[in-house]
A and B are shown apart, each in its own frame.
Chain A
């Protein structure tokens, strides 16, 4: 029986083209093999078109990369950069908000097209400013703080779980910078 994902299997999995029978072999691995992350990153690096260093993949199109000058940023596979990964990338995206029944019914397509309830929630669609791929959808009440899908503790992961510490590790790599981001905006506002 399959004990680990081969590189070919991993490629097919990443491309979303893996046949179900092969997927089942991977599903049967319990717990998942130690080397999975390594194989995964090899496959991702082969596909990666840019010269900055891949640290993590965090969504279908989004990656955390280390740039030459040392910063770690969120980057779309189209090449667009969202800035420091320590601030929620949604705040560096384009956003379209659906609020009316009509706007919602365009994409919530079951009859009767009355849901979700516009009186209670809005649908926030997040796009990549580079390629305008839809990279996130939230359904929350108006005024709800933006949800952060995942803020990884990269240094701890590489150091303590993979046992390959990153050369540029620093305590503040796992500090939420989102408040700073909005604080600047607020400052501009009050500044005029």
Chain B
């Protein structure tokens, strides 16, 4: 092999593009792009990797041979559910609940706008994950669940209806007869009393084995031992419907890579930011991982390299503005996210999105003199300046001069400013009455304020103050509209990076290798307890942690990490006794030996709670309840280096200057145009300026400037 250079390769396969972030030991990196091929992701994988390799000046084989590890965050499951091409799922569930897969808990408004949610004639059930009731068998069985009146009533595992094994056997036979090729099992309260599920699975597997079939049998308590049967059911069904298939896709990509000399296992990213081997048993946990990549990148770059603990991560694409909050160096986790109209039980890095983006369509209501944006988006059709039928934000960017019509995607796409101008005059200026350029600025104000308000709301709703947070903006459209967000909002700092356009892929490369485990428990701590009783009350949690540690060792061993490489961190969910919601906090000890341990855990909860709610909402006198325990089992993994350069001084080199352009920035103004790749660490670019890159454009208004620091992070500042 020619050179022994080693590389990290990470891919973010989005709906439209598959981005590759490719970096060597010294931190030299390139980006590769290719159109995602939903029918065969292994093709677009190869395309995107080839693109990166070429730019870097090596062959794809060299890349694969030199790759230390390859992490592929895909959209396989998303497509599988969208195109309804999943497995033929059969379900065994508690008798009486056979219709739950079809009624979706009545949550027929998930993912709909405020207006469409109000407009109930638009409510609808999502496409089914199970064909029809012939694929659902009710089984006689019932256990008592946990109680708010714990201790005052019968215990959780009380069997009210014994498991009817005959029905399990018969049900499995019938499901196989009707052609089910994967079988899920969910019984009520199994997250805390799994005995019936376990036994039913044994029986079902026997039946399958007897027929000599390869039909997986999956139980809900293995997939996600978490309360709430509808959400748990969705997790189970998605694992059954799409998980199996997703693993197949990953396998295909891996074998392709191995053919070209890749010597390790392919890895993928889970929705809560963990890198895992693609043979991970709960692969459905990777349903949405692309956006997560961005958050991880921000975490590594801002916390890991810049030492900043409080960061707002904002990704502007063509359609959505995704905002995530890193507070005190922690990634936020949402435990009941929505996925294509299904509410699942699955921890996911919490990212809030609104419709806002460079492709958004502009609506004008002449009667009410009202301008609104979206929800429709031109996507890759940009706007009337390219291939879209209606005026969009993209048209405005081009008409005002922020975007260079000849440098769109590095000139790969030719857009027409004159067409956009004509349409904006007809569809925007005429109905509202006024100057097309001022109104276009107005449209951007509307877009930017929407983006700002959303950041504010996201921070405030969690009790955070923007002044303590650093804003990092990325995504194809990020640098282009960063100025509008920063304009009327104060942050601790504002920045972006030259590789903003493939930032999520970069983030994927930085992901830690770990497994996350969670159990629901119910330990109640009324104020009356003695220290001894307190510790006793928490014994279930201890047990749960020990059990999860054991599982973690086992699973990671299977992925060839022996125990000494594994380290743990612990977390709890707690609430005031009687509350419905719980709040998460870290718990260093991970075990309850003394009453002090319990008090520490409580203190952690009180701290988390107080950041969000006013004093009037606190209630220590009620006592506390611990409702969940989490465990992270982490193993070390190679991280991409972000090279640290010597600073060359503020003055950019001559050849970085590409010329000048007239831009209507509230009035006609002459902007300097710069070439992103020619700018050096230490350079300062003063507004009015525009920095162009084949994949993105950075706007710097007259009163602002940008400084490139030693990591080429671009700090956006006021003069």
A and B touching (Cβ–Cβ under 8 A)? yes
* List of A residues within 8 angstroms of B116 by Cβ: 28
What residues on B are CB-neighbors of A80 within 8 Å? none
The one of B115, B121, B122, B361 that contacts A1, using a Cβ cutoff of 8 Å: B361
Are B361 and A27 neighbours in the complex by a CB distance under 8 Å? Answer: no
B110 nearest CB across to chain A (Å): 16
B25 interface residue (CB < 8 Å to A): no
Please report the C-alpha to C-alpha distance between residue A30 and residue B376 in the assembled complex, in whole angstroms. Answer: 15
- Known contacts A1-B361, A30-B115; is-contact A24 B376 (Cβ 8 Å): no
B119 within 8 A of A: yes
Interface string of B293-332 (1 = CB under 8 A from A): 0000000000000000000000000000000000000000
A residues less than 8 Å from B390 (CB atoms): 1
Residues A27 and B115 in contact in the complex (CB < 8 Å), given A1-B361, A1-B376:
no
Check A27–B376 contact: CB distance below 8 A. Answer: no
Check B122 against A24 for contact (C-beta < 8 Å): yes
The distance in angstroms between the C-alpha atoms of A183 and B487, with both chains bound, is 76
Q: Which B92-138 residues have C-beta < 8 A from chain A?
A: 115-116, 119, 121-122, 124
- Distance (Å) between the CB of A1 and the closest chain B CB? 5
Nearest CB on A from B124, distance (A):
8
By size class, the interface of chain B is under 10
Interface secondary structure of B, over-half rule: mixed
Which residues of B are found within 8 Å of A27, using beta-carbon distances?
119, 121-122
Question: Using Cβ atoms and an 8 Å threshold, which residues of chain A touch B121?
Answer: 27
Residues 8-37 of A contacting B (Cβ, < 8 Å): 20, 24, 27-28, 30
Which B residues are CB-close (under 8 A) to A1? 361, 376, 390
Q: Which residues of A contact B122 (CB under 8 A)?
A: 24, 27-28
Residues of B within 8 A of A20 (CB): 124
Chain B residues, Cβ within 8 Å of A24: 122
Min CB distance, B150 to chain A, in Å?
Answer: 39
CA distance A145 to B365 in the complex (A): 45
Q: Which residues of A contact B361 (CB under 8 A)?
A: 1
By beta carbon, the residue of chain A nearest B365 is A31
Q: Closest A residue to B124 by CB, please name it.
A: A20
A131 to B116, CA, bound (A): 40
**A24: nearest chain-B partner, CB-CB:** B122
Which residue of chain A lies nearest to B121 when distances are taken between CB atoms in the complex? Answer: A27
Q: How far is the CA of A144 from the CA of B211 in the complex (A)?
A: 67
116-169 of chain B: CB within 8 A of chain A: 116, 119, 121-122, 124
Q: Which of B335-367 contact A (CB under 8 A)?
A: 361
Of A1, A27, A30, most buried by chain B (CB within 10 Å of CB) is A1
What residue of chain A has the Cβ atom nearest to residue B116's Cβ?
A28
Bound form: Cα–Cα A27–B112 in Å: 14
With a CB–CB cut-off of 8 A, which chain B residues contact A28? 116, 122
**What residues of A have a CB within 8 angstroms of the CB of B376 in the complex?**
1
Residues of B within 8 A of A30 (CB): 115, 119
Closest to A1 in B: B376
A28 to B115, CA, bound (A): 10
Q: Provide the bound-state CA to CA distance between A30 and B375, in Å.
A: 14
Distance in Å: Cβ of A23 to nearest Cβ of chain B: 9
Distance of B621 from chain A, by nearest CB (Å): 49
Give A23's nearest chain B residue, CB to CB.
B121
Name the residue of chain A whose CB is nearest to the CB of B375: A1
Please name the residue on chain A nearest to B374 by beta carbon: A1
CA distance A72 to B347 in the complex (A): 66
Chain A residues with Cβ below 8 Å from B115 are 30
| CB closest residue in chain A, given B115 | A30
Shortest Cβ distance from B112 into chain A, in angstroms?
A: 11
Give CA–CA (A1, B390) in the complex, Å.
9
The CA of A27 and the CA of B121, in the complex, are separated in Å by 8
Q: Once the chains are docked, how many angstroms separate the CA of A27 from the CA of B376?
A: 15
CB neighbours (8 Å) of B119 from chain A are 27, 30
Cα A20 to Cα B390 with chains together (Å): 24
In the bound complex, CA of A27 to CA of B118 (Å): 12
Nearest Cβ in chain B — how far from A101, in angstroms? 30
How far in angstroms is the closest Cβ of chain A from B378?
12
Report how far A24 CA is from B376 CA in the complex, Å: 14
Chain A: CB-nearest residue to B376: A1
Contact pattern, A 17-60, Cβ under 8 Å of B = 1, otherwise 0? 00010001001101000000000000000000000000000000
Chain A residue nearest in CB terms to B361: A1
Complex-state Cα separation, A20 to B124, whole angstroms:
10
* Distance between Cα atoms of A30 and B362 in the complex (Å): 16
Separation in Å of the A34 CB from the closest CB of chain B? 10
Chain B: minimal CB distance from A182 (Å): 38
CA distance A161 to B122 in the complex (A): 28
Interchain CA distance A30-B363 in the complex, whole Å: 12
User: Within the assembled complex, what's the spacing in Å between the Cα atoms of A139 and B122?
Assistant: 29
Q: Write the nearest CB–CB distance from A26 to chain B, whole angstroms.
A: 10
Query: B362-405: contact bitstring with A at CB < 8 Å (1 yes, 0 no)?
Result: 00000000000000100000000000001000000000000000
Q: Closest approach, in angstroms, between the C-beta of B171 and any C-beta of chain A?
A: 26
A-B pairs, top 5 by smallest CB distance, nearest first, are A1-B376, A27-B122, A27-B121, A24-B122, A27-B119
Q: List 8 A-B contacts (CB under 8 A).
A: A1-B390, A20-B124, A24-B122, A27-B119, A27-B122, A28-B116, A30-B115, A30-B119
Besides the contacts A20-B124, A30-B115, A30-B119, what 7 more A-B pairs have beta carbons closer than 8 Å? A1-B376, A1-B390, A24-B122, A27-B119, A27-B122, A28-B116, A28-B122
B residues apposed to A, CB below 8 Å: 115-116, 119, 121-122, 124, 361, 376, 390
